[in-house]
Chain A
Amino acid sequence: MATIPKRTSDVIDHFGPHVAYAHGKRLDAGAQAECLVKTHCCFCGQQCGIQLKVKDNTVIGFEPWTEFPFNRGKLCPKGVKRYLQGSHPDRLATALARSESAPGGFASIAYRDAISRVAAEIERIQSAHGNDAFAVLSGASLTTEKAYLMGKFAHMCLRTSNIDYNGRLCMVSAGAANKKAFGIDRAANPWEDIPRADVVWISGANIAECAPITTDYVWQARENGAQIIVVDPRVTPIARTCDLFLPVKPGRDIALFNGILHLMIENGWVDQLFVDRYTTGLDAVAEHVQQWTPKRTAEVTGIAETHIRRAAEIWGTARRSFLLHARGIEHHSHGVQNVLGAINIVLASGRIGRPGCGYATITGQANGQGGREHGQKCDQLPGGRDLGNPDHRAHVASVWGIEPESLPQPGVDAYEIFRKIERGEIRGLLSICFNPVVSLPDNNYVRRMLEKLEFYGAIDFFLNETARHANIVLPGSLHEEDEGTVTQAEGRVIKINKAVEPPGDARQDWRIIQDIAAALGRERGFTFTEPREIFDELRAASRGGVCDYYGITYEKIENRLGVFWPCPELEHEGTPRLFEPGSWNPIARGSGPFYFPDGRARFNVAAYSPPAEDVDEEYPIILTTGRVVSQFLSGTQTRRIGPLVDQYSEPRVEIHPTLAARLGIRDGAWTRVRSRRGECTLRAMVVNTIRPDTVFIPYHWPDARSANQLTIAAQDPISKIPEYKVCAVRLCPAESEPAYVREETKR
């Protein structure tokens, strides 16, 4: 049913993406802003502070917010131009219903009718096929209040097991590994510890492009004398001038970590005192890494043995250190193992829980942290609690005023939801803040599954590529049209403030969810009148959990420019650095710094396994995917901002000159990249900043330009994260420019 009704070009003509540039009062050097609203960037997990200039209910520009401690006014190009997403020609200001006759395939309908249609379809599908036949897909760019409400809506109102979110493509490997090793899923340290370190180890994190503000922290460390080690298959801008660069073969990070641990043990660089007092499990791990001699590590990782030894020495002999990683080691079918490998070398060094001694994953999405704590994950309840744990169910049920038995059991991950659609187990879908047609691997499959749905409702502010398949589209709110909290990469809870009102019939997403609940006749628990009320309930629901927000209030956040959770009491100052002696810990209760009953961190054996799809004769080249600095995730916003599109307007495939020469591909030439799942023709970018056995494509684009036509839907068995970072492809020069370009030129 949910097929795209019109030619894609018709949809694009009416709903975009069109690019917006500053004009009118946004370009007028004489325009006087009525007010400056202190808030944060809507894009990545760093959540830089920014002040929005507002005039006539329009954000006309920005002024750096130099007091906010994380970024002190610094912004990346996305933050600078974020203001152009508002008052955009593509902005949805009414509800839409699928209509074959309407231009662009959708007709505007009354908001109330749209809500009734959604409620009626939910009713129909659930009564015919059971509650679990209707699924919800949510997102980690929503405020924590909305993320909490989405979980509550699915679990209490729809009583479906099947809710998951796009953090599934982002933070889950790190989250799962952190819980296994530390019992808590949060950056262990605030970023202010980075400049205090002697060594900064960066694995699989393109900091300069994906977390640009973190760059200054790393450079500050270097300025203070630190050595920077970067592990990446590409010489990213942060790697260009680092002290030691390890060009790891994609998918082989565990081997490297195991090899480093091997050398640490061999050379006596393990902090035995720390290990004995605060950890458990090193013996089994030590035995496992015996096989990871430098020679074998070098063979598997493709890194020269001398450099592996050098890295081990720098890391092993440091006094203070900070290890950072991101999707580069997490987007794998063994992503959790990769992260556990990283944590093992941190624990062995004993350098955690002290000033200048730290570890963190760099969270990707705006609320990547807060959005993964309060119940929109398939197996989760607020406060980082587990849906499968009877005590946890009882606590949350009491806050919600329902019987624990009425809560559904844990559901499945975001990708599995699509497999359930294939099997007919899921027939209806409501999505918000998620664009799986661009962001999920093997997205031709995802598109076919959307077409199989009986009903698909989407909430968004632009008609993104996935919402093109919807039966009903509800006009939601932009970041600057609502207030609430988010928790950024460091674990700092911060306040988003409203700058403008939503246009037309568009409204705050939480109101839309509550309207659906009311139309279903199940409004109990969904009668909040402002985000603050949702936050207050969330505080109570999270109380006593690991992610304890009880002591955090809007006022406290604004007065202190952010509060780090856990913060269990109103008088509590928050916890910027985890695992410090005496810090609040509801699990260990004084027995140790880590979040297990014995207070000890866990070493975990991280066994190496090759990627799900390794190269072979037919597909001899590794494809790895990632981001560019001027675009964000699936590009729903950033592909609509002209200056950002101009900065990097279309994906290019990065190829090493050696490989390019062998394949006869010249810089700028059209190149066909083919995998077992699809193909994609893009221009080549011949650069010797990438391994010669690997090519790279950024994934922000849809349709014919989409890198995720090629990627594999293999998932980590624990975290269920897809393996975006490795699949096998083959390349050849394209005979002519691709059809999509010819069509676009014609139009």
Chain B
Amino acid sequence: MKREVMKAVAFGTVATIVVAFLIVAGSRNLAHFDAALVGYTFAVLFATFGIVYRYAMWLQRPPTALYWRRGWQMFLKRGHRRRNAAMWGVRMVKDVALNGFIRNRDLLRWAAHLLLMWGCILAFAITIPLVFGWLHFGTVTGRPGWYRAFLFGFPSFTFSTESAIGFIIFHGLVWASILVIGGVMLAVRRRVRDHGAAALERFGEDFLPLILLFGVSMTGLMLTVCYTWLDGYGYEFIAILHAITVIFTLLWLPFGKLFHVFQRMAQLGVSFYRDVGQREGLAPCRRCGVGYATSMHVADLIDVERTLGFDYAVADPRIGHYQHICPACRRKMLVLSQGRIWADERRGFDREGANRAGNLDTPN
């Protein structure tokens, strides 16, 4: 096994053990653990291993490792901490909670993503604590119809099943399903209509996650329908169906598109890297003299490229490394280098004395 794989396996294993421990501890030695949910629990443990393993592998790619390290360095850098902390708050709200950047990409896409994201967050926020026994409800002695919520076994607030709060809490997953189904509908509509999307999309990457989320939400809703209006008719079957969709989704989480949920947080690190870099100065292009990237970014990219096996070093000491040329000058140099080849060619003609005016009889 390669070193990075061993590292990733180790991280995955540790994370899985930690979650298992939390399950045992949070449910008070499984006292509040619902044995019927054991399939879910094992799926979650597997997913934990998979996600942490993949995350660890990912973080070990040279460019990612660099950003990970630099992101934290910049975040914690002296003199920038206060501003970074403030920016962290702003970006958590603007980018993470509200998906502002997706809004700028496309309004419908933004609506779809918000619905999907908050639907999933809500669903996980409810189910994970329930499944692990971190949250359970107990009757309140002396007050029939009233419940008390227990968090990690500690008693918390009470509410009546008849109250609006009670209705909302006990139907939390229904609301989550409705959000997710709405989001899936919007996303599928776009994928079916949009010619650009049609050219680029792949089933496993783009449709499968939508199908899975739809399956989970629909079967979940059917469970509610089943016990609310059908007196539990077919409940067993639907419950198994639901379990299958959920478990499959959990097992697939580390491999497919939904993994972006975990990668996305790197965006925060990137923004600190950029902010701090900009405050510390831009590197001037060695051809046109205009600042085009942070000096830190240029230096880091040279390192990363070397690690990846690229060698853009240039013998001309005025350049040193091609990374010191700005993108606009790279485009211009590309075109100028072609022009130069043609000019050399023409000069070559002239040297050979091939006077083009006197050469009209040459065949085309």
Q: A residues engaging B (CB < 8 A)?
A: 29-30, 32, 198, 224-225, 227, 243, 310, 313-314, 317-319
Minimal Cβ-Cβ distance residue in A for B360: A198
B356 A227 Cβ-Cβ under 8 A: yes
Give CA–CA (A294, B362) in the complex, Å. Answer: 29
List chain A residues, Cβ under 8 A from B190.
30
Q: Which of B34-42, B192-200, B213-221 binds A?
A: B192-200
Give CA–CA (A634, B361) in the complex, Å. Answer: 46
Q: Is B364 in contact with chain A by the CB < 8 A criterion? A: yes
Minimal Cβ-Cβ distance residue in B for A224: B364
With A224-B364, A225-B364 known as contacts, the answer to whether A310 contacts B357 (CB < 8 A) is yes
A317 B357 Cβ-Cβ under 8 A: yes
B195 A317 Cβ-Cβ under 8 A: no
With A224-B364, A225-B362 known as contacts, the answer to whether A29 contacts B356 (CB < 8 A) is no
List chain A residues, Cβ under 8 A from B357.
227, 310, 313-314, 317
Proximity bits, B163-207, A CB within 8 Å = 1, else 0: 000000000000000000000000000100111110000000000
Q: Distance in Å from the Cβ of A446 to the closest Cβ of chain B?
A: 44
A30 B356 Cβ-Cβ under 8 A: no
Q: Distance in Å from the Cβ of B166 to the closest Cβ of chain A?
A: 43
Minimal Cβ-Cβ distance residue in A for B342: A241
Give CA–CA (A32, B193) in the complex, Å. Answer: 8
B side interface size, CB within 8 A: 13
B360 A317 Cβ-Cβ under 8 A: yes
Q: Pick 24 A–B contacts, CB within 8 A, sort by A.
A: A29-B194, A29-B195, A29-B196, A29-B197, A30-B190, A30-B193, A30-B194, A30-B195, A32-B193, A198-B360, A224-B364, A225-B362, A225-B364, A227-B357, A243-B356, A310-B357, A313-B357, A314-B357, A317-B357, A317-B358, A317-B360, A318-B360, A319-B360, A319-B361
The 7 closest A-B pairs by CB, nearest first: A30-B193, A30-B194, A225-B364, A29-B196, A224-B364, A29-B194, A314-B357
List chain A residues, Cβ under 8 A from B361.
319
Of the candidates B194, B358, B360, the one having the most CB atoms from chain A within 10 angstroms of its own CB is B360
Q: Distance in Å from the Cβ of B237 to the closest Cβ of chain A?
A: 38
Minimal Cβ-Cβ distance residue in B for A198: B360
Give CA–CA (A30, B201) in the complex, Å. Answer: 14
List chain B residues, Cβ under 8 A from A225.
362, 364
Q: Distance in Å from the Cβ of B106 to the closest Cβ of chain A?
A: 10
Minimal Cβ-Cβ distance residue in A for B363: A225
Known: A225-B362, A227-B357. 5 other contacts (CB 8 A): A29-B194, A29-B196, A224-B364, A243-B356, A317-B360
Give CA–CA (A32, B198) in the complex, Å. Answer: 13
Proximity bits, B321-363, A CB within 8 Å = 1, else 0: 0000000000000000000000000000000000011101110
Minimal Cβ-Cβ distance residue in A for B359: A225
List chain B residues, Cβ under 8 A from A32.
193
Give CA–CA (A157, B361) in the complex, Å. Answer: 60
Q: Distance in Å from the Cβ of B165 to the closest Cβ of chain A?
A: 42
Of the candidates A29, A198, A314, A317, the one having the most CB atoms from chain B within 10 angstroms of its own CB is A29
Give CA–CA (A115, B184) in the complex, Å. Answer: 56
Give CA–CA (A243, B356) in the complex, Å. Answer: 9
List chain B residues, Cβ under 8 A from A318.
360
Give CA–CA (A713, B18) in the complex, Å. Answer: 90
Q: Distance in Å from the Cβ of B197 to the closest Cβ of chain A?
A: 7
Of the candidates A198, A225, A243, A318, the one having the most CB atoms from chain B within 10 angstroms of its own CB is A225
Minimal Cβ-Cβ distance residue in A for B191: A30
Give CA–CA (A198, B356) in the complex, Å. Answer: 11
Minimal Cβ-Cβ distance residue in B for A226: B364
List chain A residues, Cβ under 8 A from B197.
29
Q: Distance in Å from the Cβ of A266 to the closest Cβ of chain B?
A: 17
Q: Distance in Å from the Cβ of A348 to the closest Cβ of chain B?
A: 17
Give CA–CA (A227, B362) in the complex, Å. Answer: 13
Q: Distance in Å from the Cβ of B87 to the closest Cβ of chain A?
A: 32
Minimal Cβ-Cβ distance residue in B for A317: B360
Minimal Cβ-Cβ distance residue in B for A318: B360
Q: Distance in Å from the Cβ of B313 to the closest Cβ of chain A?
A: 34
Give CA–CA (A198, B362) in the complex, Å. Answer: 10
Q: Distance in Å from the Cβ of B29 to the closest Cβ of chain A?
A: 55
List chain B residues, Cβ under 8 A from A227.
356-357
Minimal Cβ-Cβ distance residue in A for B195: A29
Minimal Cβ-Cβ distance residue in B for A314: B357
Q: Distance in Å from the Cβ of B90 to the closest Cβ of chain A?
A: 30
Give CA–CA (A227, B346) in the complex, Å. Answer: 13
Q: Distance in Å from the Cβ of A264 to the closest Cβ of chain B?
A: 14
Give CA–CA (A292, B176) in the complex, Å. Answer: 90
Give CA–CA (A314, B358) in the complex, Å. Answer: 8
Minimal Cβ-Cβ distance residue in A for B199: A29
Q: Distance in Å from the Cβ of A56 to the closest Cβ of chain B?
A: 16
Q: Distance in Å from the Cβ of A314 to the closest Cβ of chain B?
A: 5
Give CA–CA (A227, B349) in the complex, Å. Answer: 14
List chain A residues, Cβ under 8 A from B358.
317
Q: Distance in Å from the Cβ of A310 to the closest Cβ of chain B?
A: 7
Q: Distance in Å from the Cβ of A350 to the closest Cβ of chain B?
A: 15
Of the candidates A30, A32, A243, A319, the one having the most CB atoms from chain B within 10 angstroms of its own CB is A30
